[in-house]
Amino acid sequence: MKDKVTLVIVDDNAGSLELLSTALEQPGLDIYTASDPEVALDLIFEKHPQIVLTDLVMPKMTGLELLERTISFDPSIEMILMTAHYSSESAVEAIRKGASDYLNKPVSITALRSRIGTMIEDARRRLRNSQLEDELAANSPFENIIGASPAMWELYSRIRRIAPHFRTVLITGPTGSGKDLVAQALHKLSPANKGNLVVVNCSAVVETLFESELFGHVKGAFTGANADKIGLVEHASGGTLFLDEIGDMPLGTQAKLLRTIQNQEVQRVGSLQPRKIDFRVIAATHRDLRLMIREGKFREDLYYRLSMVELTIPSLAQRKEDLPLLVRHFIAKFAEQFHKPVRRITQRASIAISRYHWPGNVRELENAIGHACMMTVGEVIDVADLPPYLRGEESGIHGTSDEPLLAVMNDSLLEDNERRLVSDALTKAGWNQSEAARLLRIGRDALRYKMKKYGLAEPGSS
Tell me: do 346 and 265 sit in the same domain.
no
Alpha carbon distance 189, 186 (integer Å): 5
Residue 181, Ramachandran bin (φ over 0: left; ψ between -120 and 50: alpha; else beta): alpha
| Phi, psi angles (nearest 5°) of residue 8 | -115, 125
Give the range among 93-97, 121-125, 202-206 with minimum mean pLDDT: 93-97
User: The domain spanning residue 419 has which CATH number?
Assistant: 1.10.10
User: Residue 407: which pLDDT band, with cuts at 50, 70 and 90?
Assistant: very low
User: Residue 400: which pLDDT band, with cuts at 50, 70 and 90?
Assistant: very low
Domain end marker among 254, 286, 312: 312
pLDDT above 90 covers what percent of the chain?
48
With respect to residue 427, please indicate whether it lies within any of the assigned structural domains: yes
Tell me: do 251 and 348 sit in the same domain.
no
Tell me: do 106 and 218 sit in the same domain.
no
Residue 6, Ramachandran bin (φ over 0: left; ψ between -120 and 50: alpha; else beta): beta
Tell me: do 51 and 194 sit in the same domain.
no
With respect to residue 388, please indicate whether it lies within any of the assigned structural domains: yes
Whole-angstrom Cα Rg for the chain: 30
User: The domain spanning residue 23 has which CATH number?
Assistant: 3.40.50.2300
Angle at CA of residue 450, ends 444 and 455, nearest 5°: 125
With respect to residue 462, please indicate whether it lies within any of the assigned structural domains: no
Tell me: do 204 and 269 sit in the same domain.
yes
Tell me: do 374 and 258 sit in the same domain.
no
Give me the pLDDT at residue 423, please.
Answer: 86
Domain end marker among 312, 343, 363: 312
Tell me: do 297 and 234 sit in the same domain.
yes
Positive or negative, the CA dihedral 40, 41, 43, 48 is positive
Domain end marker among 292, 312, 332: 312
Res. 450: pLDDT tops 90: no
Res. 410: pLDDT tops 50: no
User: Residue 74: which pLDDT band, with cuts at 50, 70 and 90?
Assistant: confident
User: Residue 435: which pLDDT band, with cuts at 50, 70 and 90?
Assistant: confident
Tell me: do 436 and 352 sit in the same domain.
no
Tell me: do 204 and 302 sit in the same domain.
yes
Give the range among 17-21, 314-318, 416-420 with minimum mean pLDDT: 416-420
Give me the pLDDT at residue 415, please.
Answer: 63
| Phi, psi angles (nearest 5°) of residue 460 | 90, -10
Tell me: do 169 and 257 sit in the same domain.
yes
Task: Please check whether residue 254 is in contact with residue 302, taking contact to mean a CB–CB distance below 8 angstroms.
Answer: yes
With respect to residue 49, please indicate whether it lies within any of the assigned structural domains: yes
With respect to residue 194, please indicate whether it lies within any of the assigned structural domains: yes
Angle at CA of residue 62, ends 443 and 436, nearest 5°: 25
Tell me: do 159 and 307 sit in the same domain.
yes
Average pLDDT over residues 129-143: 69
Give me the pLDDT at residue 22, please.
Answer: 93
Tell me: do 254 and 328 sit in the same domain.
no
Find the domain containing 103 and state its range: 5-138
Res. 83: pLDDT tops 90: no
User: The domain spanning residue 265 has which CATH number?
Assistant: 3.40.50.300
**What does the mean pLDDT of the chain come to?**
86
Res. 412: pLDDT tops 60: no
Positive or negative, the CA dihedral 401, 341, 377, 414 is negative
Average pLDDT over residues 413-427: 74
State pLDDT tens for residues 170-188. 999 999 999 999 999 999 9
pTM as predicted:
0.69
With respect to residue 333, please indicate whether it lies within any of the assigned structural domains: yes
Look at 281 and 83; give whichever has higher pLDDT: 281
Average pLDDT over residues 245-254: 93
Average pLDDT over residues 287-292: 96
Alpha carbon distance 121, 108 (integer Å): 20
Total domains in the fold of the chain: 4
Look at 407 and 177; give whichever has higher pLDDT: 177
Residues 6+ apart with CB under 8 A from 109: 19, 23
With respect to residue 458, please indicate whether it lies within any of the assigned structural domains: no
With respect to residue 391, please indicate whether it lies within any of the assigned structural domains: yes
State pLDDT tens for residues 346-395. 888 998 999 999 999 999 999 999 999 998 877 889 888 999 999 876 44
Look at 430 and 412; give whichever has higher pLDDT: 430
